[in-house]
Amino acid sequence: MRWFARRLVFYVFALWVALTINFLLPRMMPGSPIDGILQHLTPAQLAANPGIVKTYEALVGGGNNSIWQDYITYLSRIVHLDFGVSTSHYPAPVSQVIGQTLPYSIFLVGVAFFLSFLIGTGIGMFAAWRRGGAVDNILVPTFMALSAFPAFFTALLGLYFLGLKAGWFPIQHAYDNGLSPGFNWEFLSSAFRHAQLPILVILAAYTGGWMLNMRTVMINTIGEDYVTMAHAKGLSDRRVMTWYAGRNAILPPLNGFAALFASAVGGLVFIEYIFSYPGAGLTLQQAVLGNDYALAQALLVVLSVCVIVANLLMDVLNLILDPRLRTG
């Protein structure tokens, strides 16, 4: 358990670093951050909410306080989930905007990344077990070729050939026009249909990485003595492949989860922009271009927390699968 405690301390430190960098980013930009915000507010909006200037000065600077005072105020607001008001969605609070857009991105990345992990590790395991077979000679090179392209380029190819030319999938937005978000079959089926092509793009971009890692480690694991012993006991090939070789081979790919998931979150901005998918990535791009510092900062915090929490969950799974960690 000491191993898990050390990892937990590391993630707390990583979160603090992410919050600090997020605080410093607007202050490193030329000009005053507050000027970029106020230029999007009309005199009527300023008159209706006279405290908005003080709110944004505390969030992104521009007032007479020292940077340390602003930093403490910033951390206090983060703890209380008070991100201020979005200028690009005025007068909606930032938390409301995030609440409307984040579920789309969580669904998109969550489903796609989970499927890419299952498909990639499954095919990689079978390809190593049956080296030289059809799966190893066809599927592995195909997915590796797809993963060699940047995610945004794969998205453009999918949009053109599968969306525009073939007409198999919707090419923009998260649901059909005229529908209102809600927990009803009409909306959910429409949302799932619109998410299919972006999910396929993420699968094409990241399945090959899981597949290659799993195949490489699996080939080395097959030659271990405990695998030979399992065969000698008369166990079925499927049981030896999954519970003996596969269970141990999957540990190194899990350790590479951080880099792949962070890459997927980073590529989310481009994928959502290409498909006009109203998730956190597209909202972040619009907030940056519109100088909506409060919304951009809040989204960066949320995306950082998502990456950290996802990797913490992978560490918990690692702890369950690897008994050596429980004795450390």
Q: Are 22 and 166 members of one domain?
A: no
Between CA 103 and CA 155 the distance in angstroms is: 21
Asked if the structure places residue 48 within a domain, the reply is yes
Between CA 285 and CA 87 the distance in angstroms is: 14
Between CA 1 and CA 326 the distance in angstroms is: 6
Give pLDDT, residue 324: 65
Q: Are 115 and 57 members of one domain?
A: no
Give kind and range of the element (H or E) at residue 282. helix 280-289
Asked if the structure places residue 28 within a domain, the reply is yes
Q: Are 179 and 261 members of one domain?
A: yes
Domain that holds residue 35: 2-79
Q: How many CB atoms lie within 10 A of CB 87?
A: 25
Q: Are 64 and 172 members of one domain?
A: no
Q: Are 75 and 99 members of one domain?
A: no
The backbone region for 84, taken as left when phi is positive above 0, alpha when psi lies in -120 to 50, beta otherwise, is left
Identity of the residue numbered 98: I
Q: Are 33 and 131 members of one domain?
A: no
Give pLDDT, residue 322: 66
Q: Are 37 and 99 members of one domain?
A: no
Asked if the structure places residue 325 within a domain, the reply is no
Q: Are 105 and 11 members of one domain?
A: no
The backbone region for 180, taken as left when phi is positive above 0, alpha when psi lies in -120 to 50, beta otherwise, is beta
Of 47, 79, 111, the residue at which a domain comes to its end is 79
Give pLDDT, residue 90: 64
Identity of the residue numbered 221: T
Q: Are 73 and 148 members of one domain?
A: no
Dump pLDDT digits (tens) for 207-247. 888 888 888 888 888 878 888 888 788 778 788 888 878 87
Length of the chain: 328
Residues of the chain with pLDDT under 50: none
Angle (CA) 141 193 313, round 5°: 65
Q: Are 227 and 300 members of one domain?
A: yes
Give pLDDT, residue 8: 83
CATH of the domain at 300: 1.10.3720.10
Dump pLDDT digits (tens) for 263-318. 777 777 888 888 888 888 888 888 877 777 778 888 888 888 888 887 888 777 77
Asked if the structure places residue 175 within a domain, the reply is yes
Name the domain count of the chain: 2
Of 50, 79, 108, the residue at which a domain comes to its end is 79
Asked if the structure places residue 307 within a domain, the reply is yes
Which pTM value belongs to this model?
0.76
Asked if the structure places residue 84 within a domain, the reply is no
Of 79, 112, 137, the residue at which a domain comes to its end is 79
Give pLDDT, residue 79: 84
Among residues 110, 109, 133, which one has the least CA distance to residue 123? 133
Asked if the structure places residue 323 within a domain, the reply is no
Asked if the structure places residue 85 within a domain, the reply is no
DSSP type of residue 21: H
Q: Are 67 and 166 members of one domain?
A: no
Q: Are 153 and 50 members of one domain?
A: no
